[in-house]
């Protein structure tokens, strides 16, 4: 097991190194001259152009530039925005909590609704309730997040006037619609997993034995089946949380909500390359770390792997 864990950590370090190379390369892969691309039609003096080139560190050889980028990044310095001159790490630190809050809220919602839907479908296996629940699930998987968000605004903000369509400032009301938008497609995935897992567990011999002993249906489900059906879903939670960070891009844009997803889109539109690099790097690193942590936890918890 130790060999497996060490190998897993080594792979993650290699991937993190690759991510740093790829993110660093963004600025160098821009077709033509990156400074011309940034300035566009802006009229600037040759001196200002040279200053921007200096700020981006483009005058040094590429290996030197990469080494400096990596060294600074490891010390938490991701450069400075070329639009508003704010340190990139400071901008991300300001926006990240809002994205994490949204991702957690969406995940909680997906788990609660997904469990209810999946459990109902499994307990009504083969009848119309199951068909209806699974049809809802396929629809949830097919609905584009950006359309779902707009439909929710149409219903809850424009028609019913219950919830705000813009998610600014603290408070739960502004979080409900964005969390629903991000969470509902995930609900479908959770529902499908819970249903499949429950159907598998409910067919096992120990469930039949428990029933034969006269244990009530509620006890069978709650005490015996649900606990075992939870294992694959728990593994999935870690992976989804990381994925939701990426998915927040669209939701934050629709609801004009603070967050790194919206920051990424704005930076791309503004051609603010240091900011784009910073956001992409931070999200990818978080994603890899969560994935590694999930794998390691799973290995430590799963006796089958632990004994190997």
Partner 1 sequence: MSAVPAKIQPRYDAPGVRVLRRTFRNRSAQVGFAILALLVLACACAPLLTRADPLAIDPSNTLQPPGRAAPLGTDGIGRDVLARFLYGGRLSLWVGLVAIAIGGLTGTSLGMLAGYFGGWLDAFLSWVTDILLAFPDILLALAIIAILGAGIVNAMIAVGISFIPAFMRLTRSSVLAIRETSYVEAARALGASDLEVIFNHILPNVLRTLLVLVTLGIGSAILAGAALNFLGLGAQPPTPEWGAMLNAGQKYIRDGWWLTVFPGLGIFLTILSINLIGDALSDAVAGTVVTSEKK
Q: Is 47 in the site for partner 1 (CB under 8 A)?
A: no
CA angle 114/251/267 to nearest 5° reads: 145
In the complex, minimum distance from the CB of residue 81 to partner 1, in angstroms, rounded to a whole number: 14
19 binds partner 1 (CB under 8 A): yes
Question: Which C-beta is closer to partner 1: that of 190 or that of 242?
Answer: 242
Site for partner 1 contains 22 (CB under 8 A): yes
C-beta of residue 122 within 8 angstroms of C-beta of residue 228: no
Residue 87 DSSP SS3: strand
Site string for partner 1, 151-190 (x = CB under 8 A): x-xx---x------x-------------------------
Strand-pair partners of 87: 80
Q: Identify whether the C-beta of residue 163 lies closer than 8 Å to the C-beta of residue 173.
A: yes
Question: Are 241 and 287 within 8 A, CB to CB?
Answer: no
Spell out the alpha helix ranges (H) of 203-259.
205-212, 217-219, 226-254
Which of residues 55 and 243 has its CB atom nearest to partner 1 in the complex? Answer: 243
Closest alpha carbon to 189 in 128, 146, 225, 239 = 239
DSSP H/E element including 53: helix 46-55
- Give whichever of 52 and 231 is closer to partner 1, judged by the CB atom: 52
Tokens of 233: 């879903």
Q: Does 235 bind partner 1 (CB under 8 A)?
A: no
According to the binding rule CB under 8 A, does residue 58 interact with partner 1? no
Kindly indicate which of the ranges 90-98, 122-130, 138-146, 200-208 contains the residues binding partner 1, using the contact rule CB under 8 A: 138-146
Asked if residue 269 binds partner 1 (CB under 8 A), the reply is yes
Of the candidates 44, 64, 86, 147, which one interacts with partner 1 according to CB under 8 A? 147
Beta bridge partners of 80: 87
Q: What is the CA radius of gyration of the chain?
A: 24
Based on the shown chain and the rule CB under 8 A, indicate whether residue 14 belongs to the binding site for partner 1.
yes
Q: Which is nearer to partner 1, 145 or 228 (CB)?
A: 145
Q: Which residue has the tokens 């300001």?
A: 94
Q: By CB under 8 A, what part of segment 68-127 binds partner 1?
A: none
- Among the listed ranges 109-117, 120-128, 286-294, 296-304, the one in contact with partner 1 (CB under 8 A) is 286-294
Coil vs helix vs strand at 257: coil
- 255 lines the binding site for partner 1 (CB under 8 A): no
Largest CA distance in the chain: 86
Q: Does 287 bind partner 1 (CB under 8 A)?
A: yes
> From CA 224, how far away is CA 194, in angstroms rounded?
14
The residue from 9, 10, 13, 18 that contacts partner 1 (CB under 8 A) is 18
Task: Check the CA dihedral 101-255-285-24 and report its sign.
Answer: negative
Closest to partner 1 by CB, 115 or 273: 273
Among 4, 5, 8, 15, binds partner 1 (CB under 8 A): 15
Residues in the chain: 308
DSSP at 225? I
**Closest separation between CB of residue 248 and partner 1, Å?**
9
The 10 Å Cβ neighbour count of residue 191 is: 27
Residue ranges in contact with partner 1 by CB under 8 A:
11, 14-15, 18-19, 22-23, 26, 29-31, 37, 138-139, 141-147, 150-151, 153-154, 158, 165, 242-243, 245-247, 249-250, 253-254, 264-265, 267-269, 273, 276, 280, 283-284, 287-288, 291
């Amino acid at each position: 097991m130790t060999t497996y864990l060490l190998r897993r950590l080594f792979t993650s370090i290699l991937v993190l190194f690759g991510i740093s190379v790829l993110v660093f390369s963004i600025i160098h892969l821009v077709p033509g001259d990156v400074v011309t691309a940034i300035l566009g039609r802006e009229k600037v003096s040759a001196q200002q152009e040279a200053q921007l080139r200096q700020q981006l560190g483009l005058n040094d050889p590429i290996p030197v530039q990469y080494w400096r980028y990596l060294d600074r990044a490891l010390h938490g310095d991701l450069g400075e925005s070329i639009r508003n001159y704010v340190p990139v790490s400071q901008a991300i630190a300001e926006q990240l909590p809002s994205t994490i809050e949204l991702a957690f809220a969406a995940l909680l919602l997906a788990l609660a609704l997904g469990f209810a839907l999946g459990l109902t479908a499994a307990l009504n296996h083969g009848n119309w309730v199951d068909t209806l629940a699974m049809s809802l699930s396929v629809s949830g998987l097919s609905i584009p997040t950006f359309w779902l968000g707009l439909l929710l605004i149409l219903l809850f903000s424009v028609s019913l006037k219950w919830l705000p369509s813009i998610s600014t400032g603290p408070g739960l009301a502004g979080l409900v619609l964005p969390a629903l938008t991000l969470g509902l497609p995930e609900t479908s995935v959770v529902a499908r997993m819970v249903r499949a897992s429950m159907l598998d567990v409910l067919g096992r011999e120990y469930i039949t034995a428990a029933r034969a002993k006269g244990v009530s249906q509620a006890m069978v489900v709650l005490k015996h089946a649900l606990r075992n059906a939870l294992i694959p879903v728990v593994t999935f939670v870690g992976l989804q949380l990381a994925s939701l960070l990426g998915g927040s891009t669209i939701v934050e844009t629709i609801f004009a909500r603070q967050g790194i997803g919206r920051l990424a889109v704005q930076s791309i539109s503004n051609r603010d390359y240091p900011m784009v690099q910073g956001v992409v790097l931070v999200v990818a690193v978080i994603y890899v770390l969560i994935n590694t942590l999930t794998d390691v936890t799973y290995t430590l918890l799963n006796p089958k792997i632990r004994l190997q």
